[in-house]
Amino acid sequence: MNDFTSPQTFPVKHIAESTVRRLSLYLRFLEEFEAKGHETISSGELAAFGGTTSAQVRKDLSFFGSFGKRGLGYSVKDLTAAIREILGLEHPWSVIIVGAGKIGAALAQYRGFSSRGFTVVGVYDKEPARVGLKLDGLVVRPESELERDIHRLKPQIAVITVPAEAAQALVDRVTAAGIKAVLNFAPAPLTVPDGVTLRAVNMATELEILAFTLTNGTTV
Give the chain's length. 220
- The whole-angstrom separation of Cα 61 and Cα 49 is 16
Q: What is the dihedral of CA 24, 14, 191, 186, to 10 degrees?
A: -20
Please state, as a whole number, how many other Cβ atoms lie within 10 Å of the Cβ of residue 187. Answer: 14
Q: Does 106 bind ligand NAD (CB under 6 A)?
A: yes
Query: What string marks each residue from 106 to 135 as x (binds a copy of itself by CB under 8 A) or -?
Result: xx-xx-xx--xxx-----------------
The partner in contact with residue 52, picked from a copy of itself, DNA, ligand NAD, none with C-beta cut-offs of 5 to 8 angstroms by kind, is DNA
Site size with a copy of itself, rule: CB under 8 A: 65
Does position 145 bind ligand NAD by CB under 6 A? Answer: no
The packing angle between helices 17-35 and 76-87, to 10°, is 140
Would you say the C-alpha torsion 123, 145, 198, 21 has a positive or negative sign? Answer: negative
From the list 58-66, 116-124, 184-192, 207-215, the region that binds DNA by CB under 7 A is 58-66
Q: Does 176 bind DNA (CB under 7 A)?
A: no
Q: Considering only residues 5, 6, 17, 70, which one is a binding residue for a copy of itself as defined by CB under 8 A?
A: 17
Helix (H, G, I), strand (E, B) or coil at 100: coil
The residues in 111-140 that bind ligand NAD, with binding defined as CB under 6 A, are 112, 124-127, 130
Among 48, 103, 138, 196, the residue binding ligand NAD under the rule CB under 6 A is 103
Choices 9-17, 128-136, 155-163, 203-211 (CB under 7 A): range interacting with DNA: 9-17
Contacts of 174 (CB under 8 A, 6+ apart): 96, 98, 146, 150, 158, 182
Interface residues with DNA (CB under 7 A)? 1, 14, 16-19, 42-44, 52-56, 58-59, 61-62, 66-74
